[in-house]
Amino acid sequence: MASGIYAPCPELCFVQVANNLDLHELVKVGNALCGTFFIDPKARNGLGKRRPLTSVRRIGAFIGRNPGILGAKPARRALGLMVDGAASPPEVFLAMALGLPYRFGGYQLPGIAANRRIKPSSKARAIAHRSTLVPDILCESSRLDIEYDSNTEHASAVQLTRDAQKRLALEADGYKVITVTARQIGSQGGNAENRRAVATAHGHPAEAPKRRIPPAAACPLPHGLVA
């Protein structure tokens, strides 16, 4: 940064905080580091867009090269629950909650992906009027898509139309689409409602969590890690 001043790379930063955070907080931090946004108080929705600071693969490679470094063990544990490509703090929270094991209050869904571009069928393309679709949070093994409906990003008539077309196109290709609002992920009652909906779509009973994940509104992202 300057003469005599040093800053850790994002991969080292993740390993350094690993010893001081619970698993769900560490996964959330990792998802933010691998996400495509930063906190921007001047923006209308409080977010800016950027290239990811790192990736799940790069963090894994760093741990592999430094297996004895302090924090490597909890960091490696969190790595398998993290995703690349989250575009907002709510998506960071949703990806974390969907992938965490039941005993940590999560949904324990395998293969979670954030904003992964998929190729729809010809029927779905005709509905969506686009050649590719980008589900917010996708669980391909369960054909499940979680869409985050923010108060600001989905306000215009044009955006509402595009969202509806996207949802109908995904449903035409056999995906179950669940829309989650800011109010739902900001409350324990809303999280319980989401759990029941996801469990139904996943074909499993809505297991009572062994622990509760704090609602997204109660556990904001560390500002310095995403700005």
- In this prediction, residue 180 carries a pLDDT of 87
49, with CB counted inside 10 A (0-12, 13-18, 19+), is exposed
Of the two residues 6 and 81, the one the predictor is more confident about is: 81
Q: How confident is the model at residue 121 (pLDDT cuts 50, 70, 90)?
A: very high
Rounded average pLDDT over 122-130: 95
pLDDT at 122: 96
For the chain, the average pLDDT equals 84
Band of residue 139 on the pLDDT scale cut at 50, 70, 90: very high
The two beta strands, 112-114 and 137-139, are antiparallel
State pLDDT tens for residues 31-84: 999 999 999 989 888 899 999 999 999 999 999 999 999 999 999 999 999 999
Structure confidence by residue, pLDDT tens digits, 7-17: 889 999 999 99
Task: Give the pLDDT mean for 162-175.
Answer: 94
In this predicted structure, what is the pLDDT of residue 161? Answer: 86
pLDDT at position 216: 53
**Confidence band for 165, pLDDT divided at 50, 70 and 90:** very high
Q: Tell me, what's the pLDDT at 126?
A: 96
| Higher per-residue confidence, 63 vs 162 | 63
pLDDT for the residue numbered 217: 43
pLDDT of 201: 60
Q: pTM (2 decimals)?
A: 0.81
Q: Which of 114-123, 127-136, 146-155 has the lowest mean pLDDT?
A: 146-155
User: Is 219 a residue whose pLDDT tops 80?
Assistant: no
